[in-house]
């Protein structure tokens, strides 16, 4: 499946994003032909980690939230990592950026602890999602239905539980991004 000429936003926290959940989707999307822009809270570089404890790599941040608009992108990927996801959900700019994708019906992928950002954006009501198990109560309190599955797709929202689920997550991301927009919730056909 080809994503030629699609522009995808990939979020990263200054520190604490799970390395594999950042690297693997980026690689899969680029191999499918997408143009991936790394967006963070700060310019320069960001440091990932492995299993929330061990240092990962350093990656360039292409743009900060203040420099971009969701209108410029065809889809969004939010990697997990409990520290990174928590930092991102604490940013009003990041939360507004994420909400704009849902308002426009654009596909979004979130893995592991990344649904915390979806909770903060108020976009989970009535949606079926999965995540790292410790995020379950937050999702349910936000009106979402939590399931324990390798990958779940709900109207353009692709979610997975953990790094072991990355092959299925990346495959479904590419499918949903190729499919394109979904009607925003509540929109009339």
Query: Catalytic residue positions?
Result: 112-113
Q: Within 10 A of 115 (CB to CB), how many other CB atoms are there?
A: 32
β-pair partners for 136 = none
CA distance 110 to 102: 13
Task: Please identify which residue in the block is written with the tokens 């608009």.
Answer: 69
Supply the DSSP string of 22-65, one letter for each residue: HHHHHHHHHHTT-EEEEEESSSEEEEEEETTTEEEEEEEE-EEG
Task: Please identify which residue in the block is written with the tokens 């790094």.
Answer: 163
CA distance 173 to 159: 9
Q: For the chain, how big is the Rg over CA atoms in Å?
A: 15
Q: Is the distance from CB of 162 to CB of 112 less than 8 angstroms?
A: yes
Two tokens, residue 33: 């032909």
């Amino acid at each position: 499946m080809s994503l030629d000429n699609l522009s995808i936003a990939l979020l990263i926290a200054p520190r604490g994003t799970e390395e594999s959940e950042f690297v693997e989707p980026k690689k899969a999307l680029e191999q499918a032909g997408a143009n991936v822009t790394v967006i963070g809270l700060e310019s320069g570089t960001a440091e990932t980690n492995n299993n929330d404890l061990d240092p990962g790599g350093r990656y360039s941040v292409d743009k900060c939230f203040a420099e971009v608009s969701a209108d410029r992108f065809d889809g969004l990927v939010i990697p997990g990592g409990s520290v990174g996801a928590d930092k991102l959900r604490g940013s009003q700019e990041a939360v507004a950026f994420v909400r704009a994708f849902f308002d426009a019906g654009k596909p979004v992928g979130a893995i592991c602890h990344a649904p915390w950002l979806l909770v903060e954006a108020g976009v989970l009501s009535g949606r079926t999602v999965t995540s790292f198990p410790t995020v379950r109560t937050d999702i349910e309190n936000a009106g979402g239905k939590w399931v324990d599955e390798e990958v779940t797709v709900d109207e353009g929202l692709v979610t997975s539980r953990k790094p072991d689920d990355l092959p299925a997550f990346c495959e479904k991301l590419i499918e949903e991004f190729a499919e394109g927009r979904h009607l925003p919730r509540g929109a009339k056909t």
